Amino acid sequence: MHIKQSHTPRKVNVFLYSVIILLISLILAVFIRHKMISKNTTTPLPPENTEATLSIKKFHHTATKNGNKQWFLEADSAQFFAEKNMARLTDISVTFYLEDDQNIFLRADKGQLNTKTNDMTISGNVVVTMPQYTLKTESLNYHHHSHIININSPVKITSSSITLTADTMSYKMKSGVLKCIGNVKGTFLENFAW
């Protein structure tokens, strides 16, 4: 009796070796690709070297009283100094909510928020948009308890019918009284009416 020998084990071995070589090649390709990608990514910058207790990007803060919003603040960054009850802010936007459902909008380059009293000192390209006027100045102070904005630097006030400039100004948010002091100069349109 003669048994015919098959080459099947040899074909199986060749197939298995081919699969193993293919798998090793794939693993190497994935590993090399991963190394190339990781070389092209940059590591994030470390936090600023500061004495701040806490630093936050995209900061939001809402001041409320008896459940009613008084103002909402957004800043690109905030650095908190716990011992001083102070936050240093950059690229600031504040919305003040008035009782008559009108809002006052403030934008500025930087400022400080007293975290205990909610008072603010704002500076750098300050623009305040009120229902009737737009104010431009370099710095202002907001007193939260009395809801008063004080401007102790030159201010320009514009609307559709007037242009005023003054050395200083105060604005009482609750009563709407705006008071300009020092070198007050203005231009009124002919059809201007109080």
State yes or no: pLDDT of 3 exceeds 60: no
Q: 80-121, pLDDT tens digit by residue?
A: 998 899 999 999 999 999 887 889 999 999 999 999 999 999
Q: What is the pLDDT of residue 151?
A: 93
Is residue 182 scored above 60 in pLDDT?
yes
What pLDDT is stored for residue 190 in this prediction? 67
Q: What is the mean pLDDT of residues 119-134?
A: 93
113 lies in the same domain as 147:
yes
Please indicate, yes or no, whether residues 152 and 129 belong to a single structural domain of this protein. yes
35/59 same-domain check: no
Q: Domain check: are 129 and 77 in the same one?
A: yes
Instruction: Based on the fold, state whether residues 22 and 89 are members of the same structural domain.
Output: no
**Mean predicted lDDT score pLDDT of the chain:** 85
194 compared with 24, residue with greater pLDDT: 24
Write out the two tokens for 134.
Answer: 């737009």
- Tell whether 26 is covered by a domain: yes
Query: Out of 47-61, 93-107, 138-152, 154-168, which region has the weakest mean confidence (pLDDT)?
Result: 47-61
In a domain, 45, yes or no: no
Structure-block tokens of residue 166: 């003054």
Q: Give residue 125's pLDDT band: very low, low, confident or very high (50, 70, 90).
A: very high
Any domain includes 178: yes
90 within some domain: yes
When computed from its CA atoms, the radius of gyration of the chain, rounded to whole angstroms, is 33
**Which amino acid is located at 116 in the chain?**
K
**Residue 133 — pLDDT band, cuts 50, 70, 90?**
confident
CA distance 152 to 167: 7
Its domain, for residue 124, covers 54-188
64 near 72, Cβ under 8 Å?
Answer: no
**CA-CA distance, 160 to 105, in Å (whole number)?**
18
Query: Quick one: pLDDT at residue 2?
Result: 55
- Pick 33 or 140 by higher pLDDT: 140
Q: In this structure, are strands 185-188 and 162-166 parallel, antiparallel, or unpaired?
A: antiparallel
One domain for residues 111 and 81:
yes
Same domain membership, residue 130 and residue 181: yes
Q: Flag whether 48 is in a domain.
A: no
Q: Is the pLDDT of residue 193 over 80?
A: no
Here the tokens at position 43 are: 């590591």
Q: How far is CA 150 from CA 144, 162, 163, 171, in A?
A: 11, 21, 19, 7
Asked if residue 177 belongs to a domain, the reply is yes
DSSP the chain: --PPPPSHHHHHHHHHHHHHHHHHHHHHHHHHHHHHHHHHSPPPPPPP----SEEEEEEEEEEEETTEEEEEEEEEEEEEEGGGTEEEEEEEEEEEE-TTS-EEEEEEEEEEEETTT--EEEEEEEEEE-SS-EEEEEEEEEETTTTEEEE-S-EEEE-SSEEEEESEEEEETTTTEEEEESS-EEEE-TT---
Count of structural domains within the chain: 2
Are 82 and 91 in contact by the 8 Å Cβ rule? The answer is: no
Judgement on whether residues 30 and 107 belong to the same structural domain of the protein? no
Q: What is the CATH number of the domain that holds 127?
A: 2.60.450.10
Most confident of 19-23, 33-37, 162-166: 162-166
166 or 6, higher pLDDT: 166
